[in-house]
Amino acid sequence: MLFTDSNGIEIQRASWGQKVNIWLKQEHLVDEEIKVEIWDKDYFSFNDHGGYINNKSYDGNLLSFSLNKAMKDETGSYAKLYWFRYIYLFALLRSL
């Protein structure tokens, strides 16, 4: 999985208000239900939940979300976003 811009180019940083995509290197996930949880990873005592991406029937394209005000309010002004890979693995195993 990679965070990308709208052209599918990997990014390392993004600004609040920007649309960000997740690219999945996948096999056999088309038409599967995909759920991705997004969390922040910071240097404070707790990691904060940032949001979800729910896709009822994955089409193989980028999964998009916005670094909006609600996410900023949850995570604080500085956050390093990450996702749970087990969701991808769960979807992969479920589709076999």
pLDDT in tens, the chain (96 residues): 788 888 888 887 777 788 888 888 777 888 888 887 777 665 555 555 666 677 788 887 888 888 888 777 776 665 555 544 434 434 444 443
What pTM did the predictor assign?
Answer: 0.62
| Cβ-based neighbour number of residue 49 at 10 Å | 13
d(C-alpha 36, C-alpha 19), whole Å: 16
Give the burial class of 23: count Cβ atoms within 10 A of its Cβ; 0-12 exposed, 13-18 middle, 19 or more buried: middle
Residue 20 bridge partners (DSSP): 65
Q: Determine the Cα–Cα distance for residues 61 and 2; give it in Å rounded to an integer.
A: 13
What residues does each domain of the chain span?
Answer: 2-95
